[in-house]
Chains A and B, each alone.
Chain A
Amino acid sequence: MAAKTLIINGKHVSAEENATILEAATEAGISIPTLCHLDGVYDAGACRLCLVEVAGISKLLPACTTKVAEGMDVSTDTERLRKYRRMTLELLFAERNHVCAVCVSNNHCELQTLAYSQGMEHVRFEYRFPKWEVDNTHALFGMDHNRCILCTRCVRVCWHIEGAGTKNESGRGAKERIITDLNQPWGASDTCTNCGKCVMACPTGALFYKGSTVSEMERDRSKLEFIVTAREKKQWIASE
């Protein structure tokens, strides 16, 4: 496979032809903040946390869905990017009801971790305090829409890894939400196999094992990548 050479943060990096900027950077030991990206499933470019600057292009590009090109000059950590990332995070917090102190994912939440690491000290936007429901109808899992950031990881693992196609999106903008099947209560779903991959994938406290208490949700996402690697490459590599 042909390799491409590009520059990331002034460093010369070579990457496989079809690699994304995110993959090339990760390979080179350069970390780019991500939220909707999940190892093992295709990317959706939904969260815009991974935006990077590419010399000669005025638009910011998502590293997770942009392919590398020969001679590309990428910057991943500029003042402008830091500003945008903080703003994106603030908007995510303002959009629904993220109350870390009483959340099942407190201290194990990717959104919270990013807010810390990106220096989000407060939210400058007015909180919208929408009233979303909790779907606790499933025997094993619960879904709290108040904490969903619409990253669609759950949808992707459900379609791509499990192949059940239970989780879907409906609506647009502020009305967008994750639904099960054709918008039935989760407990009434005919397609859900109770595999729990969506729960493992969720970066926040939106999906949880029923009965979880505050800070109790810890997820093992490496299982997802394990399954995909096993299936696609016939390699069973358990992480340590």
Chain B
Amino acid sequence: MPKRIIIDPVTRIEGHAKISIFLDDEGNVSDAEFHVVEFRGFEKFCEDRPYAEMPGITARICGICPVSHLLASAKAGDAIMAVNIPPAADKLRRLMNLGQIIQSHALSFFHLSAPDFLMGWNTPPAKRNVFGLIASNADLARAGIRLRQFGQEIIETLGGKKIHPSWAVPGGVRSPLTEAGREKLRAWLPEAYATSKIAFDLFKKTLDTHKKEVQIFGNFPSLFMGLVEPDGTWEHHGGKLRFVDSSGSTIADQLDPQKYYEYIGEAVQPSSYLKSPYYTPLGFPDGMYRVGPLARLNVAEQMGTPKADAELKKFKKLGLPGAVTSSFLYHHARLIEILASIERVEISLDDPDLLSNDLRADAGINSLRGVGVSEAPRGTLFHDYTVDRDGLLRKVNLIVATGQNNLAMNRTVAQIARHYVRGNDIPEPMLNRIEHGIRCYDPCLSCSTHAVGQMALVVRLIAPDGAIVRQISRI
């Protein structure tokens, strides 16, 4: 008799991930579902509010990536005003986004994932966390914490507040970089480069010891989507969208992100609170695509900065003859994006425009619908607002990275489970691997940053008749 296994929330206090693993008659894994339990009333809650309040409101959606929502929301506001924001404002927003990429990727790599690389799957979760990392490799842990601090300092220097800055506004930004702020940020650069190198060295060793993980942690064909410049250079806050398939060929290019609804559909899955977006020309679920660092590097032809470009070349080799399809290599992609971001921060700090006071375009309501798109660390983020003539919101649609990667996360869990589930048992090392499989995507759930770096998981094995054969909770 086929069965299913579930990993489930028991409490919402720290956030949690719930995973169902479906078994067939032979007791082998047939499928898996990663259910995201996230608050979905948000879009409704914003209705009737003035659109200009949205950057500040949406920055509260998520305590983990407020900056990304802030920037996408401000952009949607620009579109409603139908303005071109002052060049200095665009450069400043970009600088903040780079800070966000650095801090978020540093957290994902050093705090959340490095303990797994260094300590192995059989180390109990109580030790396999950032504290364990501090105990076993204090220098590495400290370097990681400092790199994250650098990213946060960029955000704080601009936005004035580490968490929930409402600095980006429709039409531009509220304040420039100061000369003192610029020098303070510049002083971080040598250390940031050095830490980036440490991370690459560590990951190179990890690749040698984790060949199997590269093979089975979410290694499957799919589409990849991300922003690129007209010449295919990596983008993070402008440009147009590109889709590539797993052979590495571009199947659609320079798509206007503001018209995402012409080529992205959203399937609603009853088992999850998230919508599953797909590339409409291929239908659902064939049009499934991945977003985030791995996807951005698959769609980009070059990073646009010398050090990151050298690393991108090596990265691309891992996928030859096609795209890089293993989600385990999201980690690798993150490191390249950190490096590219540091290089871009360095370049932008020399730009006198950042000190300009021409920062905000002024306009009324000139378009009743506005879409703002930006690359959040975890993937492409869409804010789509419809307003009335007075600028009050009538409809809000948000497409977040974790939603777009949801199907890929399901497949990743199924692939890992298939290798390790035998019969009705859920061995602890498998739980650890599944946890890491999800962590590759760095999903923006509070569970992904559980207090000690361990996810609150509930896994259930489920029989074909729906009976739960086994449930393991790890809170």
Contact = CB atoms under 8 A, between A and B. Distances in A.
Contacts of A212: 52-53
Nearest to A142: B50
Interface string A119-152: 0000000000000011011010010100000000
Given A101-B60, A102-B57, A136-B391, A215 B48 contact: no
A213 B170 contact: yes
Contact of B170 (A136, A137, A211): A211
Interface residues of B, number: 21
Given A102-B53, A104-B53, A134-B50, A213 B392 contact: no
A195 interface: no
A214 B55 contact: yes
B56 interface: yes
Contacts of A216: 166, 169, 174
Contacts of B52: 210-213
A102 B50 contact: no
Given A142-B50, A211-B170, A214-B166, A136 B57 contact: no
Contacts of A215: 56, 166
B165 to A, nearest CB: 10
A146 to B, nearest CB: 9
Interface string B54-72: 0111011000000000000
B365 to A, nearest CB: 9
B390 interface: yes
Nearest to B390: A136
A215 B170 CA distance: 14
Nearest to B54: A213
B49 interface: yes
A210 B55 contact: no
A23 B390 CA distance: 42
Given A102-B60, A213-B166, A213-B170, A137 B53 contact: no
Contact of B53 (A139, A187, A214): A214
B304 to A, nearest CB: 31
A134 B48 contact: yes
Interface of B: 48-50, 52-53, 55-57, 59-60, 164, 166, 169-171, 174, 362, 364, 390-392
Please name the 7 residue pairs, one residue from A and one from B, whose CB atoms are nearest each other, closest first: A214-B56, A136-B390, A214-B166, A213-B169, A102-B57, A211-B52, A213-B52
30 contacts: A101-B60, A101-B164, A102-B53, A102-B57, A104-B53, A134-B392, A136-B390, A136-B391, A136-B392, A139-B364, A142-B50, A210-B52, A210-B391, A211-B50, A211-B52, A211-B170, A211-B171, A211-B362, A212-B52, A212-B53, A213-B55, A213-B169, A214-B53, A214-B55, A214-B56, A214-B57, A214-B59, A214-B166, A215-B56, A215-B166
